[in-house]
């Protein structure tokens, strides 16, 4: 498992670096938020889930989609807005969705996923299912009303859900200490008599172990709040130069790079060798390059399909007017 964590982390790193490059090449439009620096949390958390569990994320989702088993080609094609993408090109970076892997999105609205994930946990409880829900969010989400409302309901109704706050220390550009009177965000669960923990998000083993405890609790009807502390290496999105950081802060983040630190750790333990490190990197680089070629060759959606997924079922009088067309015939 130690080696599997490292492979997953390197794949996410190389994928996100290629996504950043594709954005500068204007192959990816709209917004694009990367998991650079979050790879250990991605690998540890997703490994703790069962295939039947449900995952809800925010807009920083590419790595979680990959770790959930969605093919890199389909993830990259979605970033490119192509028909072979996981959401057929209509979701893009922030709105990936895959029923088969129970990856329930990508949400662009801050905290938009939290009530929906809580509702999914209610549905599982209502049916008497054995699944659990994992709901990911950033630190800024803990300040919105829906966060508190959802935790309150989950605790009252004993829902099978784990809320995961990936605390990278910044709500866009605002430090957590300046936006939260209690910067140890997991402690907010105490207001709802909910179990919680804080874990080093740069250590995939620690995240995995903590996530297993949290999931066991949720399956037993005791919802859980898990906080992983995991700094992001770049700005909030690919267009954010992160000028709110000092040079010293940026250098400290680079020095704590979880991929490099984990490689050193496994090397010291005899799990990794220099040749194996080079081989894993080459393998991940080749996978990502193939994904980029696949995305490049995938067709764009036809304009005529623009409204195909507006509603799950047909709705009377729904507008299918294209830009520039008259409102009335």
Whole-angstrom Cα distance, residue 125 to residue 55? 16
Compute the C-alpha angle 121/108/148, nearest 5°: 45
Domains of the chain in start order, with CATH, are: 2-300 (3.40.50.970)
Residues contacting 46, CB < 8 A, separation 6+: 8, 55, 64, 67, 68
In tens, the pLDDT along 234-267 reads 889 998 888 888 889 888 888 899 999 999 999 9
Q: Is the pLDDT of residue 328 over 80?
A: no
Q: Which helix (H) or strand (E) holds 98?
A: none
Entry pTM: 0.93
pLDDT in tens, 123-177: 999 999 999 999 999 999 999 999 999 999 999 999 999 999 999 988 888 888 8
CA distances from 1 to 108, 215, 275, 311 (A): 33, 19, 19, 41
pLDDT (mean) for 261-290: 96
Q: Identify the helix (H) or strand (E) that includes residue 323.
A: none
């Amino acid at each position: 498992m130690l080696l599997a964590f490292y492979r997953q982390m390197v794949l996410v790193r190389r994928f996100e670096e290629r996504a950043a490059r594709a954005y500068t090449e204007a192959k990816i439009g709209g917004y694009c938020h990367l998991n650079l620096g979050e790879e250990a949390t991605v690998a540890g958390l997703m490994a703790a889930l069962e295939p039947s569990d449900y995952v809800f994320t925010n807009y920083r989702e590419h790595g979680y989609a990959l770790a959930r088993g969605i093919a890199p080609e389909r993830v990259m094609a979605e970033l490119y807005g192509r028909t072979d993408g996981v959401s057929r090109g209509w979701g893009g970076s922030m709105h990936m969705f895959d029923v088969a892997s129970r990856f329930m999105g990508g949400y662009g609205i801050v905290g938009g996923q939290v009530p929906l994930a809580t509702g999914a946990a209610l549905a599982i409880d209502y049916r008497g299912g054995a699944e659990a829900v994992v709901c990911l969010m950033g630190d800024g989400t803990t300040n919105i009303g829906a966060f508190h409302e959802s935790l309150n309901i989950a605790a009252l109704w004993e829902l099978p859900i784990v809320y995961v706050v990936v605390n990278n220390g910044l709500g866009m550009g605002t430090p957590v200490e300046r936006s939260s009177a209690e910067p140890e965000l997991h402690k907010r669960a105490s207001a709802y008599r909910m179990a919680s923990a804080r874990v080093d998000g740069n250590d995939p083993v620690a995240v995995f172990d903590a996530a297993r405890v949290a999931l066991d609790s949720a399956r037993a009807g005791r919802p859980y709040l898990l906080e992983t502390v995991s700094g992001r290496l770049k700005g909030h999105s690919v267009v954010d130069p992160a000028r709110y950081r000092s040079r010293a802060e940026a250098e400290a983040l680079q020095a704590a790079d979880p991929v490099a630190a984990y490689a050193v750790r496994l090397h010291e333990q005899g799990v990794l060798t220099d040749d194996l490190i080079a081989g894993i990197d080459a393998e991940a680089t080749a996978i990502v390059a193939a994904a980029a070629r696949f995305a490049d060759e995938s067709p764009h959606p036809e304009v005529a399909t623009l409204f195909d997924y507006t509603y799950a079922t047909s709705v009377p009088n729904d507008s299918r007017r294209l830009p520039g067309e008259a409102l009335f015939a």
